[in-house]
């Protein structure tokens, strides 16, 4: 059966659909020895499909989708490649899972949950969605006045010209010198939360993503990951997944499926731990 090349490349786990389109546009994909073009279709049962000179037909046939939830540490790049040699999110997942890519972004200085997969269609659907909430726990410099925070709740134009949508901002217990908030976003503009609070003169000091949709794992150590099962993936996309790891019994069960290259205790304190 013929399918679009970018879909086949994504299905093989080589790259996301968008990245596959770039590979095609850059002349790095061939079909039966001829340079492929955007919009071209192919049948992996009949056509020889190569990416960077390597045949991917077997990978298409044997491909199994993998979905990972990683608790990213601060100082780790959400990417699969960095010319500067910085630590990458892919470094925290064993190579046995094959070539994975992050779903969305979480900036270098932030920590928390991020999804990783080899399913290009899943990535495209999640990144395009405006119904999957991302929940962040943040600490900001100083104590912003309520009118300024209300301005962010209604939506604000950032310095780069992006107009944010209305969002939910819950005020948490502050310290004498710093405010804490829970921020819920349904969009993913680059460093959006940091730029939002910069716009009212109170920069973000710490930022952690604590939930993606209904996926939330409070007991996952920083730098650890776990594999989502089929039911979780389906429930995540339909918004029916219940939070996990809320009890010790559930946490012990999760530990059997959790691995970490360098497990360590999180340095990021929750607001209810700050005195």
Model confidence pLDDT, tens digit, residues 234-267: 888 776 654 443 344 444 444 444 434 333 433 4
CB 69 within 8 A of CB 241: no
- Distance, in Å, from the CA atom of 233 to the CA atom of 122, rounded to the nearest integer, reads 9
* 242 vs 20: which has the higher pLDDT: 20
- Cα angle for residues 22, 105, 250 (degrees, 5° grid): 125
Q: How confident is the model at residue 88 (pLDDT cuts 50, 70, 90)?
A: very high
The yes-or-no verdict on residue 139 having pLDDT over 90 is: yes
Catalytic residue positions, numbered: 107
pLDDT of residue 234: 86
Cα distances (Å, whole numbers) of residue 165 to 112, 115, 121, 211 = 23, 23, 26, 19
pLDDT of residue 42: 94
pLDDT of residue 34: 95
Is pTM beyond 0.75? Reply is no
- Using one digit for the tens of pLDDT, what is the confidence trace for 206-220? 999 999 998 988 889
Q: Hey, what are 137's tokens? A: 């726990």
- Distance, in Å, from the CA atom of 228 to the CA atom of 214, rounded to the nearest integer, reads 13
């Amino acid at each position: 059966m013929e399918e679009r090349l970018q879909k086949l490349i994504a299905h093989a786990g080589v790259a996301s659909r968008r990245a596959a389109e770039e590979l095609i546009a850059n002349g790095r994909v061939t079909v039966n020895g001829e340079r492929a073009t955007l919009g071209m279709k192919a049948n992996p049962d009949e056509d020889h499909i190569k990416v960077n000179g390597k045949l991917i037909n077997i990978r298409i046939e044997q491909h199994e989708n993998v979905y990972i939830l990683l608790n990213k540490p601060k100082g780790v790049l959400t990417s699969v490649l960095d010319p500067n040699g910085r630590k990458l999110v892919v470094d925290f997942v064993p190579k046995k899972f094959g070539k994975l890519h992050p779903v969305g972004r979480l900036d270098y200085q932030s920590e928390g949950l991020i999804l990783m997969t080899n399913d290009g269609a899943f990535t495209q659907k999640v990144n395009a969605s405006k119904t999957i909430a991302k929940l962040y726990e943040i600490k900001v410099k100083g104590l912003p006045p309520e009118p300024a925070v209300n301005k962010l709740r209604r939506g604000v134009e950032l310095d780069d010209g992006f107009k944010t949508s209305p969002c939910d901002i819950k005020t948490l217990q502050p310290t004498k010198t710093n405010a804490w908030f829970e921020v819920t976003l349904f969009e993913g503009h680059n460093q959006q939360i940091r730029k939002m609070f910069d716009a009212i003169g109170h920069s973000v000091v710490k930022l952690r993503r604590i939930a993606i949709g209904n996926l939330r794992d409070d007991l996952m150590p920083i730098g650890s990951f776990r594999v989502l099962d089929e039911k979780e993936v389906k429930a995540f996309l339909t918004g029916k997944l219940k939070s996990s790891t809320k009890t010790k019994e559930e946490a012990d069960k999760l530990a059997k499926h959790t691995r970490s290259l360098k497990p360590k205790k999180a340095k990021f304190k929750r607001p209810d731990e700050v005195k």
